[in-house]
Structure 1
Amino acid sequence: MRDWLIQLRKKLKLTQQQVADGAHIDRAYYAQIENGTRNPSMAVASQIATHMNINPMLFFSEHFNGPFEQALLNSPVIVAHCDTKLRYTWMFNPHPDFNMENIIGKTDEELDSNEGTQALMKLKQRVIDTGKTVKETIAFPLSNGMIQYFVFAQPIYNASGEIIGAATASTEIQS
């Protein structure tokens, strides 16, 4: 079951039929994708992702066993993408305080409003507004204390060269 997809669809106030129509696929096929009995092709994942404004790689994250995952899993590194409204479209290796299924489609403030999340949102907005990369250290109050991250952010562009979001790589700084 792809609970994250069901939650996102409901948050967007869409029916399965509306998503299927927007992705130009059959509703029954979409229902099978949503309940996890079928995996979409990359083309179909891209069509659904475009309609729902998410990263298509979310559909394949459970099969992502390559060197990237091996290198970063359980490391102090978080990698993420957001759209121009600062809503997460993809994330890898979130802090244990956050459930991956609850992150997609939400902003940092919707997940936990504090000075750290406000600073992170300002950083990402600056990247989207200027088209320039930004590096900054930001502290977040988490369950294991005040944790500082070195955050590197850069714009994400579509095929037409328009900024469609920001990508971040955040590394925990040991004090």
Structure 2
Amino acid sequence: MRRWLIQLRKEQQLTQQEVAAGAHIDRAYYAQIENGTRNPSMTVASRIASYLHINPSLFFSEHLSEPFEAALTGSPITIAHCDLEHRYTWLFNNHPDFTMSKVIGKRVDEIFQHEATEELLNIKKKVVLENKPIRKVVSFPLSEGTIVYDTFCKPIHDSKGNIIGTASVSMEMIKPTM
């Protein structure tokens, strides 16, 4: 079962019929894709991904990612992919303040305004501009207070070596006890 796909569809308040129509496929076929009994072709995965504003590679990485998902779920680590416009195309293990429907297809500065969001956006811009990874500590004011993240961001390349976006890993830093 593709729980992530069901969760994403529900967070965007869409029905299976709406996603199927948006991807130009039969609803029953889409239901089979969601429940994991059918795998989409690259073309169908790309159409669904385009409609939901996600990266189509999500459909094909499940078997490889199961051990990582088991290890990272609930951990202090968040992983994200963004396109060249710095809009989120994928997010894993996100903070509860950032639901998928609130984040996918948007830049961090469109989600909320703060100097930390500008700093994160500037990191992503610099990664693309310089075509090299950057690691930096960024503090975010979130619902339970300020959380400090050790963030590593690097460019994502296509098969021809062109930059197509950024991938980032942010780890919540432990606050020192006094």
Whether TM exceeds 0.5 here: the answer is yes
Distance 1:114 1:134 in 2: 20
Deviations 1:73-123 (A, max 9, x none): 110000000001010000100011111232210111121111111110000
Unmatched 5+ stretches in structure 1: 10-14, 21-26
Deviations 1:46-85 (A, max 9, x none): 3543687631144579988711011101100000000010
Establish whether residue 37 from structure 1 lines up as the match of residue 31 from structure 2. Answer: yes
Determine the structure 2 residue equivalent to 1:121.
121
Determine the structure 1 residue equivalent to 2:83.
83
Distance 2:99 2:142 in 1: 14
Q: 1:82 to 1:127 in 2, by over 3 A?
A: same
SS at match of 1:121: helix
Deviations 1:10-45 (A, max 9, x none): xxxxx976x54xxxxxx242x556xx5231515121
Determine the structure 2 residue equivalent to 1:172.
172
- How many residue pairs get aligned? The number is 161
8 Å CA contact 2:133, 2:154 repeated in 1: yes
SS at match of 1:66: helix
Distance 1:80 1:72 in 2: 13
Equivalent residue letter for 2:115: E
Distance 1:8 1:157 in 2: 32
SS at match of 1:106: coil
Distance 1:8 1:120 in 2: 28
SS at match of 1:38: helix
Moved more, 109-118 or 162-171: 109-118
Counterparts of 1:85-100 in structure 2 under 5 Å? 85-100=85-100
8 Å CA contact 1:42, 1:56 repeated in 2: no
CA RMSD, Structure 1 to Structure 2 (Å):
3.1
Aligned-pair identity (%): 41
Determine the structure 2 residue equivalent to 1:67.
67
